[in-house]
Structures are given as structure tokens and as C-alpha cells.
Amino acid sequence: MNNPYTTLFGKVPMQIIPRAQQTALVTNTFAASSPSQQVYAITGVRGSGKTVFMTDVCQTLAQDRRWIVEELSVEQDLLQGLVAKLNSRKALARLISEAEIDLSFFGVGVRVKGTQPIVDLTVALERMLRVLEREHKRLLISIDEAVNNAHMRAFASTFQILVRKDLPVFLLMAGLYENIESLQNEKTLTFLYRAPKIRPEPLGIRSIAANYSQTFGIDRTRLSPRTASSPPTRIPMPSVRFFFVRGPAGVSVQFK
Ligand SMILES: Nc1ncnc2c1ncn2[C@@H]1O[C@H](COP(=O)(O)OP(=O)(O)O)[C@@H](O)[C@H]1O
Ligand SMILES: [Mg+2]
């Protein structure tokens, strides 16, 4: 049996143990009829669970048809990437062409007769977001490993304009403290300074136990966290033998 709780960095495990409160805070805030926040910055040291937490929030919202969730990379032109990604969604491409939004200047979509192609990415996104607004849809953008580079600054400055125009656009970005701090200290990106920060909290013992019990089909009453000094409990399983050890971060399962 493969370990469903893989600890490879950057790889989201098959089993996500919920940080239910923090996930609900973000999803409820974003999904509110008049959201009080349109951006959250997820910070913390390497391995603290930023990527997994962000993925969990994105997956939760993506289950709702009203949400369009796009993941962007800071290594590329974020704005151009976003325009292209949105236009590659079939249903959206149709609405964009119906609204006669000409994105041909960016090498996206087709030339619309009788209109000038849009040459400014902020304008293009504004027009596209108006279409989403009309359809009662919201756009969530997620950016992992956010750093203070030219792509990110250009993106954040456009995002700021779109939010000011009351468009249905939301941002989740995850990064190391120092990178998020450097970005929010940019004079032109003051909105980031006010953006609430989330630090993924340690996984709760109860959450872990509930997830182990479900994943391995073990009776919950048999799952009790042990201290490192007590002998490990071995529970024979059909194809896997494992025991619990309690470390500083909680309980971990070791596969034998
Ligand atoms: N909610 C979670 N459920 C299960 N495993 C998790 C969870 N959060 C973090 N992990 C484990 O910790 C590892 C590191 O988490 P990750 O989100 O990649 O950290 P970061 O992005 O902060 O560097 C993941 O690969 C995963 O194994
Ligand atoms: Mg990460």
C-alpha cells in the first residue's frame, strides 16, 4: 500500500487532513454575498502546510459551480497566463466571444469584426470579469510560492484595480514569511499590507484520528495517541502494519 500521507514537499497528499476552521474561515468569507475580504496571504515556514491548505480551499470552492478556480505561477506573466487560461475554458470562451471581447492581440481567441482588439491586459481582465459578474460567477486565483518579482508586482497592481472596481475576483497566495513581507512592503501594493494572513495551524489530533480511522477502516476507539516514551502500538492490517508515534507536530503513521 502506498502511503496516502506522502510527505514529499510540493506534493499534495492523497489524504488531506482538514484544518476545518481555517478552511471555513476563508471559504465562508469569499463566498459571502458581500465579501469582507478578497485576498488572503498564507504564510509560514517550509513544510508548514501552506500548499496543502491552499489546495484544500481551492478544491472546496471549485466544487461549487459558481466558482472558477485558476492556479498561476510566478515564473510566468501572470496576467497573460490568466487571460489565456480563462479563455481556454469552453463555456467562458463562448461568453467572451458573445460579449465581443477581442483578445487577439494577446494571441488568444479570434479577431472580432468591427471592434478594436484590446491591448491592455487589465482592461481585458476587467471586461472578462464583467462577463463573469453577469453570470453570477466568481474567480479565485491561487498563487503558490509567491515572491516579490516583476510578474507578481504587475499582477498584484492589476488585482488591486479590479478589486477597487468591485469585480468578483479573489486571491489566495502562499509564500514564505519573508517573501510575502517583501511584497506587501512595496509602496504601490498597500492593499496587500492590509490583507489578512493565515498560518496553517498544526493539525488537530482529533482530525488526524478521524482521518486515519476512515482511511484505514479502524475503529476510532482503538486510535489513541501515544507518547514517544510508551511502546508503539502495532495494529495488524491486511496489507500494512503501522504504529503510532507522537512527535512535536502530532501523530504520525510509520509504514512497515
Ligand atoms: N492538511 C494536511 N493533511 C495531510 N498532510 C499534510 C497536511 N498539511 C501538510 N501535510 C503534509 O506536510 C507536507 C508539507 O506540506 P506543504 O503544504 O507542502 O508545506 P509548505 O507548502 O508550507 O511548504 C505535505 O507534503 C503533506 O505530506
Ligand atoms: Mg508549498
Query: How many domains are there within the chain?
Result: 2
What's the per-residue H, E or C state across the chain?
CCCCCCCCCCCCCCCCCCCHHHHHHHHHHHHCCCCCCCEEEEECCCCCCHHHHHHHHHHHHHCCCCEEEEEECCCCCHHHHHHHHHHCCHHHHHHHHHCCCCCHHHCCCCCCCCCCCCCCHHHHHHHHHHHHHHCCCEEEEEECCCCCCHHHHHHHHHHHHHHHCCCCEEEEEEECHHHHHHHHCCHHHHHHHHCCEECCCCCCHHHHHHHHHHHHCCCHHHCCCCCCCCCCCEEECCCCEEEEEEECCEEEEEEC
Residues listed for the chain = 256
Express each pLDDT in 147-157 by its tens digit. Answer: 999 999 999 99
Judged against a pLDDT cut of 80, whether residue 135 lies above it is answered with yes
**Residue with CA nearest ligand 1 atom 16:** 49
Which atom of ligand 1 is nearest to 52's Cα?
17
Lowest mean pLDDT of 25-39, 131-145, 173-187, 205-219, name the range: 205-219
Q: Looking at residues 172-200, what average pLDDT do you find?
A: 92
Q: Which three cell numbers stand for residue 137?
A: 460567477
CATH of the domain at 32: 3.40.50.300
Instruction: Tell whether 61 and 183 lie within a shared domain.
Output: yes
Instruction: Tell whether 182 and 241 lie within a shared domain.
Output: no
The last residue of one of the domains, among 156, 183, 198, is: 198
**Residue with CA nearest ligand 1 atom 26:** 7
Whole-number Å distance, alpha carbon 43 to ligand 2 midpoint, is 10
53 located within any domain: yes
Judged against a pLDDT cut of 70, whether residue 109 lies above it is answered with yes
What is the pLDDT, as a whole number, of residue 212? 84
The model's confidence at residue 8, banded by pLDDT at 50, 70 and 90, is low
What is the pLDDT, as a whole number, of residue 164? 95
Structural domain of residue 25, as residue ranges? 20-198
Residues 138 and 147: their CA atoms lie apart, in Å, by: 25
What is the pLDDT, as a whole number, of residue 247? 41
Higher pLDDT, 15 or 40: 40
CA pseudo-torsion sign 27, 32, 37, 38: positive
Judged against a pLDDT cut of 50, whether residue 248 lies above it is answered with no
Question: Pocket of ligand 1, candidates 8, 9, 147: which has the most ligand atoms within 8 Å of its Cβ, to mutate?
Answer: 9
Instruction: Tell whether 217 and 108 lie within a shared domain.
Output: no
Judged against a pLDDT cut of 90, whether residue 143 lies above it is answered with yes
Instruction: Tell whether 166 and 232 lie within a shared domain.
Output: no
The last residue of one of the domains, among 170, 198, 226, is: 198
Judged against a pLDDT cut of 90, whether residue 5 lies above it is answered with no
- CB atoms inside a 10 Å sphere around CB 9: 8
Q: Looking at residues 60-74, what average pLDDT do you find?
A: 96
What is the pLDDT, as a whole number, of residue 252? 52
Express each pLDDT in 20-40 by its tens digit. Answer: 899 999 999 999 999 999 999
Q: What is the pTM of this model?
A: 0.83
Whole-number Å distance, alpha carbon 51 to ligand 2 midpoint, is 4
The model's confidence at residue 198, banded by pLDDT at 50, 70 and 90, is very high
Q: Mean pLDDT, the chain, as a whole number?
A: 84
Instruction: Tell whether 124 and 215 lie within a shared domain.
Output: no
What is the pLDDT, as a whole number, of residue 107? 81
Express each pLDDT in 75-87 by its tens digit. Answer: 999 999 999 999 9
Pocket around ligand 1 at a 6 A CB cut-off:
5-11, 13, 16-17, 19, 44, 46-52, 203
Ligand nearest to the CA of 48: 1
Instruction: Tell whether 80 and 194 lie within a shared domain.
Output: yes
Lowest mean pLDDT of 71-75, 102-106, 119-123, name the range: 102-106
What is the pLDDT, as a whole number, of residue 2? 74
Judged against a pLDDT cut of 70, whether residue 230 lies above it is answered with no
Whole-number Å distance, alpha carbon 32 to ligand 1 midpoint, is 27
Which atom of ligand 1 is nearest to 11's Cα?
25
